[in-house]
Structure 1
Amino acid sequence: MTPDRYAVVGNPIGHSLSPRIHALFAEQTGQHLVYEARLGRPEHFAEDVREWFREGLRGLNVTVPFKEEAFRLVDQHSRRAGRAGAVNTIWIEADGLLTGDNTDGAGFLRDLTQRLGFDPGGRAILILGAGGATRGLLEPLLGAAPARLVIANRTPEKARGLQQDFADLARGARLEASGLEDMPAGPYDLVINATAAGLGSGGLALPPALLGASGIAYDLVYGPAARRFLEWAGAQGAATVTDGLGMLVEQAAEAFAIWRGVRPETAPVLAAIRDTAGIG
């Protein structure tokens, strides 16, 4: 029996851990599939993706720099993809239409609540950065009813744009926006680095006293790129510091569940990926 085919597309893509993650999911759940990494061509992204699905691809994950282009490509969006303005998971319907979803926010929230045991309800949260990554987190975070959520960005106008776009979801939360130079004082229970910049050497310059005594520092990237932010957080007395590998595995599990109708257990997969990829 020919296995169902899935893939991840990005540029660059050689570093992707997604094929290994989905292979472990398939082994664990007894699913018959193959999953590969494909290099996206910026000038031919849309035509390539549609051709792949015509050739029999069942589902596609999308990573940088194509998530916004994937949003424009698909025929229909999930609610959360519409909010995020970006698509990272695509599948083909029985009628041939392509549906796009965004599993990043759900993956982040699941990692935060299940693995780290952090309930955002009633807490103070600071997000550094106002790009696509932050946009994908805001709906699930605001849905968890924090007391306060601050978006701080190098360009304050971009942070205020997100504040306006998501104001209807804030409900009882104080949703604020600022520049990085004048962010509201802490302490925060959770500080999320959603920027592409590390600390120092022209990157972020953060003030002290941002983190509370039991605070969590979470960098959305993983591996060496997260090191400076997490070292800074540790020096500030953060109770927990973590990179984004857990989010990567959880968002992949969300996509796998959409495609295959079964949700894999993520803890053993995360442990195996950290071990084999050498990511401490």
Structure 2
Amino acid sequence: MSFDGRLLSGISVLAAVVQSRNFARAADVLGITASGVSRAIGRLEERVGVRLLDRTTRSMVLTDEGRLFYEQVAPLLFGIEEAAVSASGAGGVARGRLRVDIDPYFLRSQLSGRLGGFLRAHPELTLELVTRDHVGDLVTDGIDVAVRFGEPVVASAIARKLMETRVLTVASPGYLKKHGRPVHPSDIAGHHCIQFFDPVTRRPFDWEFHRGRKVLPVATLSRLYVSDVGTMVNECLAGTGIAQVLAIRIQPLLESGRLIDLFPDWSGETFPLYALYPSRNHQPAKVRAFVDFVSKVIREPPAHR
């Protein structure tokens, strides 16, 4: 069986372009000129018979055919890289650049301040953290792993559930002093509520209260809608209104008394945290190391986080 080395070379250049997101950065990574990168992509497109990239002077994006092609060949490139690393006797070493798409509030509340320890444990690794409202295209954006709350919406991603955390309904002591404390979840309908809306659907999340198998939906009154969890928590602390938040995000605020859990008997609703991977058969050591790091942090008692 003949082996087309030029095809593999072209695929490697394509991978560098996708991960670097433009020709100039890919050229720096590969040690060739930007025009050399462009010629290699042109030869690859001629070889496979389809246009793989739409490119301008400022940006590039995979075509639909290019995305499908890259999703199929990326695992093969990864397998070659892993085989080379394994043959060198360092198959379990986390090295290279790791690009992570991560929930911004989870990053600030759980991982911030611990990243230095992670990097010290993996001295051959460079960590790049991307925070945004929602998960984009992992392949096109060159993301190695995403850490996100909620059920996965990226159909092509491989999902691993890391944990589930309770949904709590909370208010500040100042708000309760001024407006009174609701006794039952149905009383929420008469209070000021801070609504969190899904940045993907642009619709606010419905408020529900769970106790055992019983689910109680409650219509809420709100004049403030946010898509940033940090802003929602800060406004709740300031007494602007009542909010529904994830327990893992606010445990220290509950323990200090700055926020009050209004309905501990109705806090059976949970929300998942997932690690999302591009469509690959195996995960490199750097990805496994980061996911293990996140899993360790969320298993720690709140006092140690």
The bucket for the TM-score relative to the shorter chain is 0.3 to 0.5
So what's the TM-score if we normalise by structure 1? 0.33
Q: Considering only CA atoms, is the larger Rg found in Structure 1 or Structure 2? A: 2
Return the TM-score normalized by structure 2.
0.32
Higher relative contact order (CA 8 A, sep 6+): 2
